[in-house]
Amino acid sequence: LAARPEIRAGSAVWVHAASAGELLQAQPLLAALTAVRPRPPLVYTYTSPSAEPLLGSVLDADLVVPLPLDTRRNAADWIDAVRPRALALVDAELWPNLLRECCRRGILRALVSARVGPASRRARVPWRYAYRTLLRELDVVACADADSATRLLAIGARRERVHVTGDLRVDATLQRAASGEPPPALPFPGDHPVVVAGSTWPDDEAVLLPALRGLRDRSLATRLVIAPHEGGEARLSGVERSLARWGFTAVRLSRLAAESSMAQAADAVLVDRTGQLYRLYGAANLAWVGGGFRGALHSVMEPAAFGVPVVTGPATGGSWFAGELRHAGALFPVRHAREAEDVMGALLASRARRDAAGAAARAVLESYGGATERTVAVLMGSGWLDQAGMGDPAGSTYARSGTRSI
């Protein structure tokens, strides 16, 4: 910081996205902030090591560092060192000491792409009382969806500061899919449909693998790419055993080049590298998304961005976007292996049906785009960006984007 006097000038905009997931969400906002003129210094902080492999995506920031542990002394020392004018927190993580020290110094505070699910403990006693106090210290609450806005108001957010601007994950997912980065080369012939199963848990595999075996018995041979949610060696070895038990010949993604003869005979690829899944959805004819048997469904936006229909377990209520896809005929929840076999068989046997479902998935995702512009418009309208030294927001295209308060 001693070598970066422009940061300490008191006009820096500070974005905190705690982990890899939040950083992926924040990328469109970070890009938008660097594009606004005049451009203030931009500071990005994180707390989880999971964000570190993605730090190359925020190279336009003037300072990228991990945030110290949220103690009162650490928060005060950090803020005194950086001297930001405005802070944006991504998703729903609120840091008590950080917010209080920002309040004491008159630093404007925003929560963006805010999401609170129906089962969130933030809405339950006793956590809601602590969360209410923190919510009321925010100048802007830009919500990912109307249901989250309603829940945050019920917890105690100030109504005049709550806006529905949309989910930044939508813009981030569309941008990543449009990047043109090809999926890793797979060793499968082009005449077999490919199922990409992402972020799977053992209860997903207990339904998916027998269903795919059933399709083979019906002469509908498929090729499988499977990416377990947890990628430790013990978990990967367990998935390999399950694949073999159901008749698959599997090779790990990291070994495709080194084991070319085995790869040519493989009908399943086990993903053992992080950061590959979203690109692999681009090679899919059908996606299985894990977490649907445990009420913690993983992202269904990524396959939707590639126009791929989704099959998952029945517990999708925690994902608003899954509900939208299901309503559009693009997501198919299943309860057991026989139902999964029938649903996947119908989709894989009919290209027209599969294409229609995939097009519907993409259309739903695109219909929710534009959250970045709406979020920036709210920040400007509230004085958050103007206060940060960005000049008159009236001349910005962002200031003309539609937003909605509730």
pLDDT tens, 310-357? 999 999 987 889 999 999 999 999 999 999 999 999 999 999 999 999
Pair 363, 377 in one domain: no
Express each pLDDT in 378-390 by its tens digit: 998 888 876 444 4
* Single-letter amino acid code for the residue at 185: A
Pair 352, 391 in one domain: no
Which neighbouring-strand residues pair with 120? none
CATH number at residue 150: 3.40.50.11720
* Single-letter amino acid code for the residue at 325: L
Pair 343, 312 in one domain: yes
Mean pLDDT within 84-92:
93
Domain-embedded: residue 93: yes
Decide if 156 contacts 137 (C-beta within 8 A). Answer: no
Pair 210, 241 in one domain: yes
Asked if the model's pLDDT at residue 405 lies above 50, the reply is no
Domain-embedded: residue 405: no
In sign, the C-alpha dihedral spanning 125, 131, 133, 138 is negative
Decide if 324 contacts 364 (C-beta within 8 A). Answer: yes
Mean pLDDT within 114-142:
87
**Neighbouring C-alpha atoms within 13 Å toward the C-beta of 312:** 31
* Single-letter amino acid code for the residue at 347: L
Pair 150, 203 in one domain: no
5 vs 366 pLDDT, higher one: 366
Asked if the model's pLDDT at residue 392 lies above 80, the reply is no
Domain-embedded: residue 238: yes
- For residue 402, what pLDDT is reported? 47
- Tell me how long the chain is: 406
Which value, in Å, is the radius of gyration of the alpha carbons in the chain?
23
If you count DSSP H runs as helices and E runs as strands, how many of each does the chain have, helices first?
Answer: 16, 15
**Neighbouring C-alpha atoms within 13 Å toward the C-beta of 5:** 0
pTM for this prediction:
0.88
Decide if 135 contacts 152 (C-beta within 8 A). Answer: yes
Domain-embedded: residue 174: no
Pair 224, 291 in one domain: yes
Mean pLDDT within 118-130:
78
Pair 239, 308 in one domain: yes
Tokens of 62: 């003037």
CATH number at residue 304: 3.40.50.2000
- For residue 297, what pLDDT is reported? 92
Pair 209, 358 in one domain: yes
Of the candidates 84, 81, 64, the one whose C-alpha atom is nearest the C-alpha of residue 1 is 81
Domain-embedded: residue 307: yes
- In the chain, how many domains are there? 2
Phi-psi bin for 295: left (phi > 0), alpha (psi -120 to 50), beta?
Answer: left
Pair 374, 321 in one domain: no
**Neighbouring C-alpha atoms within 13 Å toward the C-beta of 265:** 5
Residue in the block written with tokens 């813009």: 171
What is the residue range of 250's domain?
A: 194-367
Q: How far apart are CA 201 and CA 267, in angstroms?
A: 20
Pair 92, 104 in one domain: yes
Structure confidence at residue 6 as a pLDDT band (50, 70, 90): low
The fraction of the chain above a pLDDT of 70, given in percent, is: 92
Q: Please, what is the average pLDDT of the chain?
A: 89
Asked if the model's pLDDT at residue 84 lies above 80, the reply is yes
Express each pLDDT in 325-337 by its tens digit: 999 999 999 999 9
Pair 358, 379 in one domain: no
The fraction of the chain above a pLDDT of 90, given in percent, is: 68
Q: How far apart are CA 204 and CA 89, in angstroms?
A: 33
Pair 117, 212 in one domain: no
Asked if the model's pLDDT at residue 399 lies above 50, the reply is no
Which helix (H) or strand (E) segment holds residue 269: the answer is: strand 268-270
Q: How far apart are CA 87 and CA 393, in angstroms?
A: 18
DSSP classification of residue 404: E
How many C-beta atoms lie closer than 10 Å to residue 351's C-beta? 11
